Homo-oligomer: A and B are copies of this chain.
């Protein structure tokens, strides 16, 4: 498939950072939560090295914050996720799959306990707001649910801590992973969390005043000049190398969390009221697919994303990229577990692919 133009309209929403993203020379977008997500500035590979070596600023406004507030807010959130959220502290983020009554994944957000009775669901690409509202309305829960006017801006890369400290002050280095502090920019306090969709380290700034979007962007670029700061976005190479899952790509509403290796985020034995737990307890160990990596020495072409063995479809390629660092072709594939029990490789067009667990362990692969 050659490059195609994205038709942009009000439906593919702009963000308060879009003017700066455009000025920075964005070449490509995707659409995420009905909003523009910048994907490419110089090129996938050039953006990758900048992210891994220096620091980037990402407009991830499309990580919409679904705010659930009111006396039943924690009850509703717990209903939606099989992860036990009862021990969360204010300002903490929790990666947590949301699952329906069949155990199918609806979304894999970061849940943020913003205050007592005030949770933010920092969503991946599906309308969690609608599910939450339907559940609340149907169950008569006392909550308010809205898409909050919050515009996350990620600062990612090895020099991110230095840059965010320059802009938000000396409390920044003390923020632990998935914890946050309310810090000021131009007199306005906003949440700054150590988090982000890369493994290069960094922060997400939950901008709560659209008028400060361009000043904040400009300040990060002014302060980051000697750090080689660049505009960027979630990078396909980096996120696959790091084994970061992408909802809609590596998993969707046809999958359950066990198939995606998310077992650690399911509290099967917790005494909590979560609508998916009965189904998940029944599925555990009996799921049909498993998301794995398959590593090739050179790029291979799949026919309609199919991994075939002896003429039979045994897997569905969900993500794929050439890694310039490891010089391997990395794929994330939803494979039949039955096939995995007896095979450690597949052959596509005479290229042998080594089947590995995720995230990729490059020491073991090399």
Which residues of A are at the interface with B, using a C-beta cutoff of 8 A?
1, 3-12, 22, 26-31, 34, 39-40, 100-101, 106, 125-140, 147, 236, 246-250, 253, 275, 305, 318-319
When the two chains form their complex, are residues B135 and A126 in contact, meaning their CB atoms are under 8 A apart? no
Query: Closest CB of chain B to A30's CB: distance in Å?
Result: 4
When the two chains form their complex, are residues A6 and B9 in contact, meaning their CB atoms are under 8 A apart? no
Tell me which of B40, B101, B140, B319 contacts A5 (CB under 8 A).
Answer: B40
Max chain B C-beta neighbours (<10 A), residue from A125, A133, A236, A275 = A133
When the two chains form their complex, are residues A10 and B305 in contact, meaning their CB atoms are under 8 A apart? yes
Write out the residue numbers on chain B whose beta carbons fall within 8 Å of the beta carbon of A12: 30-31
Tell me which of B7, B11, B246, B275 contacts A29 (CB under 8 A).
Answer: B7
Write out the residue numbers on chain B whose beta carbons fall within 8 Å of the beta carbon of A246: 9, 11
Alpha-carbon separation in the docked complex, A159 to B258 (Å): 51
Query: Closest CB of chain B to A97's CB: distance in Å?
Result: 14
When the two chains form their complex, are residues A130 and B134 in contact, meaning their CB atoms are under 8 A apart? yes
Query: Closest CB of chain B to A195's CB: distance in Å?
Result: 21
Alpha-carbon separation in the docked complex, A134 to B128 (Å): 10
Alpha-carbon separation in the docked complex, A3 to B39 (Å): 14
When the two chains form their complex, are residues A5 and B5 in contact, meaning their CB atoms are under 8 A apart? yes
Chosen A-B contacts, 8 in total, with CB atoms closer than 8 Å, are A4-B29, A5-B6, A6-B28, A6-B30, A12-B31, A34-B126, A134-B137, A134-B138
Please, which residue of chain B has its CB at the minimum distance from the CB of A12? B30
Write out the residue numbers on chain B whose beta carbons fall within 8 Å of the beta carbon of A6: 4-6, 28-31
Query: Closest CB of chain B to A321's CB: distance in Å?
Result: 10
Alpha-carbon separation in the docked complex, A137 to B249 (Å): 26
Tell me which of B31, B125, B249, B318 contacts A30 (CB under 8 A).
Answer: B31
Tell me which of B9, B248, B319 contacts A34 (CB under 8 A).
Answer: B248
